[in-house]
Amino acid sequence: MRERGIDDGHIINISYTVYPTSLSRFYSATKFAVRAITEGLRQEMREEKSHIRISSVSPALVETQFAYRALKDSERAKNLYTSVESIKPEDVADSVLHIITSPAHVEVLFYMNFFC
């Protein structure tokens, strides 16, 4: 955006609210990296007094095809999505819409106690 002379807009990264387990350690690492990159970019834009907004959406378990493909076991994947409260992709889209329609001076924070 900046390279094209644009100093307005909104970058939204999708992360994940996850606690590392032996099965998800590499996936968790990538999502923590997304958070770090988002925060670093947000600080950079703030220091440069840019009008580009930086946000991150970090949902908990979203019911998609991800678990079905990763686990390669439809019964296990189905059990995963029914054993804990999962959200729909539409919920993530609604969160993104809420963020981009909020005034620039508003900080939107959502916390979920997924594993508590």
Half-sphere exposure of 96 (CA within 13 A, CB side): 11
Kindly name the residue from 19, 27, 68, 111 that is annotated as catalytic. Answer: 27
Say if residues 40 and 34 touch (Cβ distance below 8 Å): no
Return the structure tokens found at 99. 């963020």
Catalytic-residue membership of 16? no
Phi-psi region of 56 (alpha: psi -120 to 50; beta: other; left: phi over 0): beta
Active site positions, annotated = 27
